[in-house]
């Protein structure tokens, strides 16, 4: 529809300036909203006339995008129209992506709520058959093991990222970057088997310890910490570093006092993501930490319970009748999400408190 | 200076670990350490076992019952699977094991080396039900050959004459059969396939293993997955531990001239008509199940899971604990507890008398 | 803390002790990662070796390691790439929406929700797939089989339970969405404000600003985040094991009940009951997965390097 001049053609120097309008037409301020309302009404009408929800939503969404684009193109020109179309597409994609995610959360909350009670958080499964019982032992186990994994991986990951961004040149740096990426692809169960094989070499076969789980999780966690920290350090503007060097600040102090604080918000998010990535891992804990129904808070001695493994076994071998166990499984999952939520809040608080003000 | 800033970055996981670590003070239902002699039994300590996941629900019940009588004892059972359980037991990684298949020659030799002599007793007998979900059909009689053909995908429609022949008067719909099998390697599959192979060798040409041999069917993980798939689809049929069949219809299986519905008694009866495998030592009670039995009232599709232990432990306390625990497992009380919470079939008194000497043999020193 | 391996290099600035220690520590951390990875590789190789050299009939299936692993590899690649194909554009859209479209307050809350979802354990995604998504997919699958059956992907026959590759792919996509979009989001958020304001001041619409300032700036992060997601999808164990009905060989058909297995799920499904050479075979398949990840990352690296001029650091 080449009725209007495209901006790619460059300025048209031959037309006198006063021939081109200085202002474009503009859609009325409420235009997108009213089109949206119309689309909504149309969608509901389709729904009522017997279409299923998905089809009605798709048709309404497409209708909205097409109408807004055409209208805007007619009144405002192609650039504005494209902009509005992209806005519609991005928002639409966002909403589309949100549906399954919200559905997951809703499922977990609604199925986890029935057993979200005192007993769940104060009891272990020792001596419990059927109804009742709790996951206190598993909650503690998850916190201890994940905490240890973080304690191992965060320093290593952070330092590696610093090396890659600030120091690393040449073959070693390239090798590390590359193999960190490879490490993200280690299947979680392989990490578990590796940790098991490592400890079995030292302590003999059949060994089960919390720390083994922490090591296995670290193998999975380190690359995530490195990758996200590296990305964050990379986008710290070089001007900041150069300014510090120009003031004769040693490199390490520049890193510690300038680079890290600038990237802190991102790093905190990255670390939280990394924790989130491993806290729900089931397979590696299955083969390294095992399961117990009693309290064990010593990560250097024997089997420990963890929430994901607890949840898994409650689901897989529920007993008769299965419902109490299935409820416990869902509540354990819900608890896991809440723990991550708290961690997330803490990370946000930390980055809010310590990071220098840049952009929200 | 470096410390403080790095410290900040580390603060969140560390802080979380510490705060939660420090408040750790034990579950409300666990005995506090100071108590010590709360129970009257005098036994104390920890034993850990690993093995078949089929037994897990039963193990939970046994653990609970055992701990009630001996509050200072902790028993762990890691349901890592039969293969892993046998391997771990043989190389000394666990104090006792649970397995859906008895030890093979090599493992037996290894176990005897570890233990002096291995104690191997059936502790958990569970019927495997043929479950189906077909609208309008609540009862179904199936001959072994018919089951084999269905699962081998030779009979593909519910109104097949072979099915109709066994079910006079039942209105069978014109609907495709979707056979559901386990996607994971399992003792349940192995026992089911073994049954098909023994009773309908012409219609079941596949080898016996824990891996499902037929491609193209619906596959689901674990007993719960199969149950979910069967109840989720229409025209589905599958096999699962009877205890988890819940509201699904279960087929009656052809034995001899009649059709037998599964029941704990009918399942436990199989062990009585089966032969103990010879030449495995005094304390090994391994059975080759008589799948093709024609004995009336026997339900031949069962899973028998064994408990394995040593006749000779280095540690006297450990020996005592394992012995007490095994005694509880095979006791009438223990079997009843498992039946209630895991849906297993209690072993008969006759069998208990046979295997009691094996459990009594568990000791230390020599 | 890892032991320091000194690496002195010519610096224009004088080397201070603090610098040496710090450089040593960070280099050491990097080297430690290589050591761990070498350990994992060594473990995989030694454990896989017996299966690689064993006669074909000893391998489960009786036809050798390659025949055993190939369908698994195929399933792994198919599911992971399709999942990435769905997830990557959505992740970018989510990140864009949160950083540049949504009102600030809402954006924060949304970002928070999405971070949270990265933590949902994979079995939960699996259970959700089975309980919610699979039943929903039955009807569309039948429709696809009827109307688009000429495309091999939708050849049918349609499933009656919904435990199909299509559902597994969607579950995987949903699963890698949070972590992918979180990384992209952080990168978008760091776009220099001056660039954005400059392009807006020149009269660019929002989309033009995004296309010229934000996207080029975030390109390496988008690729990096996609790789992270792909890595997770390739190695996902529990969700696939729970959702997928794995009983077919190599097929592109997404909506029938016979689907190829994936390597990771197969390990999880068969490992507990395996002994002897079967375990070695499973670990050999793990080794293959490891190699695939290696290749994928090499390719991604090559792409990023070719476009280095767009990357954020300078």
Residue ranges and CATH numbers for the domains of chain A are: 26-114 (no CATH), 136-353 (1.10.3720.10)
A154 — pLDDT class (breaks 50, 70, 90): very high
- Average pLDDT over chain B, rounded to an integer: 84
**Is A104 close to C128, i.e. CB distance below 8 A?**
yes
Residue by residue, DSSP assigns A15-45 as: S-GGGS-SS-----TTHHHHHHHHHHHHHHH
Across the interface, which of A137, A291, A343 has its CB nearest the CB of B16?
A343
**Is B340 close to A205, i.e. CB distance below 8 A?**
no
Helices (H) and strands (E) in chain B, counts: 12, 16
- Does A179 lie at the interface with C, CB-CB under 8 angstroms? yes
- Span A327-352, average pLDDT: 85
Report the pLDDT value the prediction gives residue A31, as an integer from 0 to 100.
78
pLDDT at A156 over 70: yes
pLDDT at B13 over 60: no
Report the pLDDT value the prediction gives residue A211, as an integer from 0 to 100.
93
Total number of residues shown for chain C: 314
B39 — pLDDT class (breaks 50, 70, 90): very low
Report the pLDDT value the prediction gives residue C169, as an integer from 0 to 100.
93
Choice between C53 and B325, residue whose per-residue pLDDT is larger: B325
Q: Which domains does chain C have, with CATH numbers?
A: 54-311 (1.10.3720.10)
- Average pLDDT over chain A, rounded to an integer: 83
How far, in Å, are C47, C49, C59, C64, C76 from residue C284 at the CA level?
7, 7, 11, 12, 15
Cα separation, B71 vs B69, in Å, equals 6
Cα separation, A196 vs C210, in Å, equals 48
| Token duo for residue B215 | 């491609």
Report the pLDDT value the prediction gives residue A149, as an integer from 0 to 100.
95
Report the pLDDT value the prediction gives residue A357, as an integer from 0 to 100.
58
B219 — pLDDT class (breaks 50, 70, 90): confident
Across the interface, which of B87, B184, B229 has its CB nearest the CB of C275?
B87
Report the pLDDT value the prediction gives residue B37, as an integer from 0 to 100.
42
Report the pLDDT value the prediction gives residue C2, as an integer from 0 to 100.
43
Report the pLDDT value the prediction gives residue B290, as an integer from 0 to 100.
85
Cα separation, A211 vs A199, in Å, equals 10
- Average pLDDT over chain C, rounded to an integer: 82
pLDDT at B366 over 70: no
Name the closest residue on chain A to residue B96, using Cα atoms: A206
- Span B193-206, average pLDDT: 90
Whether cis (ω within 30° of 0) applies to the bond prior to C157 is: yes
Report the pLDDT value the prediction gives residue C1, as an integer from 0 to 100.
40
Name the closest residue on chain B to residue A148, using Cα atoms: B17
| Token duo for residue C235 | 């190695």
Report the pLDDT value the prediction gives residue C307, as an integer from 0 to 100.
58
For chains B and C, CB pairs below 8 A equal 94
Q: Which of B39-53, B223-237, C300-314 has the lowest mean pLDDT?
A: C300-314
pLDDT at A137 over 50: yes
- Chain B interface disruption, residue of A118, A125, A126, A328, most B CBs within 10 A: A126
Cα separation, A197 vs A191, in Å, equals 10
Question: Chain B: nearest CA to C240, how far in angstroms?
Answer: 10
Neighbours of chain B (3+ CB pairs under 8 A): A, C
Q: Which residue, among A328, A300, A301, A304, has the nearest Cα to A314 in the 3D structure?
A: A328
Q: What is the CATH number of domain B128-263?
A: 3.40.190.10
Question: Chain C: nearest CA to A313, how far in angstroms?
Answer: 11
Percent of chain B with pLDDT over 70: 90
Residues of C in contact with A360 (CB under 8 A): 104, 108
A44 — pLDDT class (breaks 50, 70, 90): confident
Report the pLDDT value the prediction gives residue A9, as an integer from 0 to 100.
53
Percent of chain A with pLDDT over 70: 91
Neighbours of chain A (3+ CB pairs under 8 A): B, C
Structural contact between residues A259 and B26, judged by C-beta atoms closer than 8 angstroms: no
Residues in CB range of A256: below 8 A, 6 or more apart: B1, B2, B5, B6, C22
pLDDT at B34 over 50: no
Using N-to-C axis directions, what is the helix angle for C263-270 and A188-203, rounded to 10°? 50
Choice between A281 and A8, residue whose per-residue pLDDT is larger: A281
> Would you give the DSSP letter of residue A236?
S
**Is B215 close to C249, i.e. CB distance below 8 A?**
yes
A174 — pLDDT class (breaks 50, 70, 90): confident
Digit-coded pLDDT (tens) for C32-83: 999 998 998 898 899 888 888 888 777 777 778 888 888 889 999 999 999 9
Cα separation, C160 vs A93, in Å, equals 29
- Chain C interface disruption, residue of B13, B232, B235, B305, most C CBs within 10 A: B232
Domain span(s) for CATH 3.40.190.10 in chain B? 18-126+265-288+302-364, 128-263
Report the pLDDT value the prediction gives residue A140, as an integer from 0 to 100.
92
Q: Which of A213-227, C22-36, C268-282 has the lowest mean pLDDT?
A: C268-282
Q: Indicate the burial class of A201 (C-beta count within 10 angstroms; 0-12, 13-18, 19 or more).
A: exposed
- Span C269-277, average pLDDT: 78
Digit-coded pLDDT (tens) for B281-321: 888 899 888 888 888 888 999 999 999 999 888 888 999 99
β partners of residue B287: B276
Report the pLDDT value the prediction gives residue B11, as an integer from 0 to 100.
47
Digit-coded pLDDT (tens) for B163-184: 998 888 888 898 889 899 988 8
Question: Chain B: nearest CA to C248, how far in angstroms?
Answer: 5
Structural contact between residues C48 and C283, judged by C-beta atoms closer than 8 angstroms: yes
Question: Chain A: nearest CA to B4, how far in angstroms?
Answer: 9
**Is C162 close to B232, i.e. CB distance below 8 A?**
yes
Strands B73-78, B45-51: pairing is: parallel
Question: Chain A: nearest CA to B345, how far in angstroms?
Answer: 13
- Chain C interface disruption, residue of A81, A235, A278, most C CBs within 10 A: A235
Q: Which residue, among B286, B329, B291, B280, has the nearest Cα to B102 in the 3D structure?
A: B286
Cα separation, C67 vs B15, in Å, equals 50
> Would you give the DSSP letter of residue B247?
T
**Is A336 close to C121, i.e. CB distance below 8 A?**
yes
Report the pLDDT value the prediction gives residue A352, as an integer from 0 to 100.
77
Residues of B in contact with A291 (CB under 8 A): 76, 78-79
Sign of the Cα torsion C43, C286, A229, A168 reads positive
Residues of C in contact with B176 (CB under 8 A): 160
Residue by residue, DSSP assigns C9-65 as: ---SSPPPHHHHHHHHHHHHHHHHHHHHHHHHHHHHHHHHHHHHHS-GGGSTTSS-H
Three-state SS at B312: strand
- Span A196-210, average pLDDT: 84
Using N-to-C axis directions, what is the helix angle for C165-189 and C134-147, rounded to 10°? 110
Instruction: Select from 3.40.190.10, 3.40.640.10, 3.30.1360.10, 3.40.50.720 the CATH code of B18-126+265-288+302-364.
Output: 3.40.190.10
Digit-coded pLDDT (tens) for B61-119: 899 899 888 888 889 898 888 888 888 899 888 899 999 888 888 889 988 888 888 99
- Does C161 lie at the interface with B, CB-CB under 8 angstroms? yes
pLDDT at C104 over 60: yes
Name the closest residue on chain B to residue A279, using Cα atoms: B13
pLDDT at A193 over 80: yes
Cα separation, C19 vs A251, in Å, equals 6
C302 — pLDDT class (breaks 50, 70, 90): confident
Name the closest residue on chain A to residue C27, using Cα atoms: A163
Cα separation, C89 vs A246, in Å, equals 42
A214 — pLDDT class (breaks 50, 70, 90): very high
Choice between C256 and A154, residue whose per-residue pLDDT is larger: A154
pLDDT at A2 over 50: no
Structural contact between residues A231 and C186, judged by C-beta atoms closer than 8 angstroms: yes
Strand order, beta sheet including B252-255: B141-142, B252-255, B258-260
Whether cis (ω within 30° of 0) applies to the bond prior to A321 is: yes
- Span A113-132, average pLDDT: 84
Across the interface, which of C13, C93, C268 has its CB nearest the CB of A189?
C268
Report the pLDDT value the prediction gives residue A21, as an integer from 0 to 100.
61
- Span A160-178, average pLDDT: 86
Digit-coded pLDDT (tens) for C125-167: 888 888 888 888 888 888 888 888 788 788 767 777 788 888 9
**Torsions phi, psi for A309 (to 5 deg):** -65, -40
Cα separation, C306 vs A80, in Å, equals 32
Digit-coded pLDDT (tens) for A246-276: 998 888 888 888 888 888 888 887 888 788 8
Question: Chain A: nearest CA to B5, how far in angstroms?
Answer: 7
Structural contact between residues B154 and B267, judged by C-beta atoms closer than 8 angstroms: no
**Is A294 close to B74, i.e. CB distance below 8 A?**
yes
**Is B83 close to C244, i.e. CB distance below 8 A?**
no
pLDDT at A133 over 60: yes
Across the interface, which of B83, B86, B232 has its CB nearest the CB of C161?
B232
Cα separation, C201 vs A268, in Å, equals 33
A19 — pLDDT class (breaks 50, 70, 90): low
Question: Chain B: nearest CA to A354, how far in angstroms?
Answer: 8
- Chain C interface disruption, residue of B55, B220, B228, B234, most C CBs within 10 A: B220
């Amino acid at each position: 529809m080449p009725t209007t001049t495209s901006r790619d053609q460059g300025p048209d120097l031959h037309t006198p300036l006063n021939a081109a309008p200085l202002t474009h037409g503009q859609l009325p301020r409420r235009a997108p909203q009213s089109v949206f309302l119309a689309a909504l009404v149309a969608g509901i009408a389709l729904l009522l006339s017997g279409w299923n929800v998905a089809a009605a939503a798709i048709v309404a969404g497409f209708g909205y995008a097409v109408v807004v684009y055409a209208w805007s193109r007619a009144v405002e020109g192609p650039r504005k129209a494209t902009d509005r179309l992209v806005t519609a597409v991005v928002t639409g994609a966002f909403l589309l992506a949100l549906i399954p995610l919200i559905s997951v959360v809703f499922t977990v909350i609604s199925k986890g709520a029935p057993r979200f009670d005192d007993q769940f958080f104060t009891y272990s499964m020792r001596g419990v058959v059927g109804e009742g019982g709790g996951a206190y032992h598993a909650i503690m186990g998850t916190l201890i093991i994940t905490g240890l994994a973080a304690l191992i991986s965060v320093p290593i990951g952070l330092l590696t990222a610093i090396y890659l961004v600030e120091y690393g040149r040449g073959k070693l740096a390239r090798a590390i970057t590359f193999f960190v990426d490879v490490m993200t692809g280690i299947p979680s169960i392989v990490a578990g088997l590796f940790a098991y094989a490592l400890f079995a070499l030292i302590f003999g076969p059949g060994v089960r310890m919390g720390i083994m789980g922490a090591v296995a999780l670290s193998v999975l966690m380190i690359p995530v910490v490195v990758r996200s920290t590296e990305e964050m350090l990379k986008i710290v503007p070089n001007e900041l570093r150069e300014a510090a060097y120009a003031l004769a600040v040693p490199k390490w102090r520049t890193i510690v006092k300038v680079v890290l604080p600038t990237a802190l918000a991102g790093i905190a998010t990255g670390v939280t993501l990394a924790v989130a990535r491993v806290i729900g891992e089931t397979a590696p804990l299955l083969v390294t930490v095992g399961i117990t129904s009693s309290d064990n808070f010593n990560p250097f001695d024997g089997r420990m319970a963890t929430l994901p493994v607890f949840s898994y076994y409650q689901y897989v071998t529920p007993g008769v009748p299965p419902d109490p166990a299935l409820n416990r499984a869902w509540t354990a999952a819900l608890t896991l999400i809440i723990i991550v939520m708290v961690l997330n809040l803490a990370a946000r608080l930390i980055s809010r408190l310590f990071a220098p003000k840049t952009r929200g | 200076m470096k410390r403080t800033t790095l410290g900040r970055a580390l603060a969140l996981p560390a802080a979380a670990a510490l705060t939660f670590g420090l408040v750790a003070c034990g579950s409300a239902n666990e005995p506090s350490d100071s108590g010590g002699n709360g129970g009257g039994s005098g036994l104390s300590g920890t034993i850990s076992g690993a093995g078949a996941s089929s037994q897990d629900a039963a193990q939970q019940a046994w653990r609970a019952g055992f701990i009630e009588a001996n509050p200072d004892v902790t028993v762990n059972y890691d349901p890592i699977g039969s293969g892993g359980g046998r391997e771990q037991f043989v190389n000394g990684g666990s104090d006792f094991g649970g397995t859906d298949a008895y030890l093979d020659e090599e493992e037996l030799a290894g176990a005897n080396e570890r233990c002096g002599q291995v104690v191997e007793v059936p502790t958990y007998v569970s019927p495997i039900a043929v479950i189906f979900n077909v609208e309008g059909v609540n009862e179904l009689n199936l001959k072994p050959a018919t089951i084999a053909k269905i699962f081998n995908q030779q009979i593909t429609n519910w109104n097949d004459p072979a099915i109709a022949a066994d079910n006079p008067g039942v209105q069978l719909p014109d609907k495709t059969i979707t056979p559901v099998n386990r996607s994971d390697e399992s003792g349940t599959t192995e026992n089911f396939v073994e049954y098909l192979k023994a009773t309908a060798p012409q219609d079941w040409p596949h080898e016996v293993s824990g891996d499902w041999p037929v491609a193209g069917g619906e596959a689901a993980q674990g007993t719960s997955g199969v149950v979910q798939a069967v109840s989720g689809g229409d025209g589905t049929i599958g096999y699962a531990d009877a205890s988890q069949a819940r509201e699904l219809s279960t087929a009656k299986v052809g034995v001899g001239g009649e059709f037998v519905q599964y029941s704990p008694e009918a399942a436990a009866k199989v062990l009585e008509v089966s032969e103990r495998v010879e030449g495995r030592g005094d304390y090994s009670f391994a059975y080759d199940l008589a799948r093709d039995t024609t004995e009336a009232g026997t339900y031949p599709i069962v899973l028998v899971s064994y408990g394995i232990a040593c006749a000779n432990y280095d540690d006297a306390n450990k020996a005592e604990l394992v012995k007490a625990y095994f005694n509880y497992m095979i006791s009438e009380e223990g079997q009843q507890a498992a039946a209630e919470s895991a849906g297993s079939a209690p072993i008969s008194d006759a069998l208990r008398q046979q295997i009691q000497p094996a459990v009594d043999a568990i000791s230390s020193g020599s | 803390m890892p032991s320091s391996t000194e690496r002195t290099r010519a610096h224009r600035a004088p080397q201070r002790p603090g610098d040496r220690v710090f450089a040593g520590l960070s280099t050491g951390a990097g080297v430690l990662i290589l050591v761990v990875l070498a350990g994992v590789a060594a473990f995989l190789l030694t454990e896989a070796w017996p299966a690689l050299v064993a006669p074909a009939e000893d391998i489960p299936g009786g036809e050798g390691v390659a025949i055993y692993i190939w369908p698994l590899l195929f399933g792994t690649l198919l599911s992971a790439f399709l999942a990435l194909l769905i997830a990557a554009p959505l992740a970018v859209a989510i990140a864009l929406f949160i950083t540049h479209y949504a009102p600030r307050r809402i954006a924060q809350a949304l970002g928070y929700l999405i971070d949270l979802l990265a933590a949902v354990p994979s079995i939960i995604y699996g259970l959700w797939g089975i309980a919610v998504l699979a039943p929903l997919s039955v009807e569309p699958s039948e429709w696809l089989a009827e109307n688009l059956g000429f495309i091999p992907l939708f050849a049918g026959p349609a499933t009656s339970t919904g435990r199909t590759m299509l559902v597994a792919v969607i579950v995987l996509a949903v699963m890698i969405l949070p972590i992918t979009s979180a990384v992209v989001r952080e990168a978008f958020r760091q776009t220099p404000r001056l660039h954005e304001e400059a392009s807006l001041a020149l009269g660019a619409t929002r989309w033009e600003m995004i296309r010229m300032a934000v996207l080029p700036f975030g390109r390496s992060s988008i690729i990096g985040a996609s790789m992270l997601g792909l890595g997770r999808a390739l190695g996902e164990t529990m969700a696939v094991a729970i959702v997928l009905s794995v009983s077919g060989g190599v097929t592109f058909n997404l909506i029938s009940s016979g689907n190829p297995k994936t390597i990771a799920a197969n390990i999880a499904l068969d490992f507990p009951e395996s002994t002897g050479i079967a375990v070695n075979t499973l670990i050999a398949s793990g080794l293959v997965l490891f190699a695939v990840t290696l290749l994928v990352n090499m390719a991604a690296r090559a792409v990023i390097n070719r476009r280095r001029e767009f990357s954020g650091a300078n």
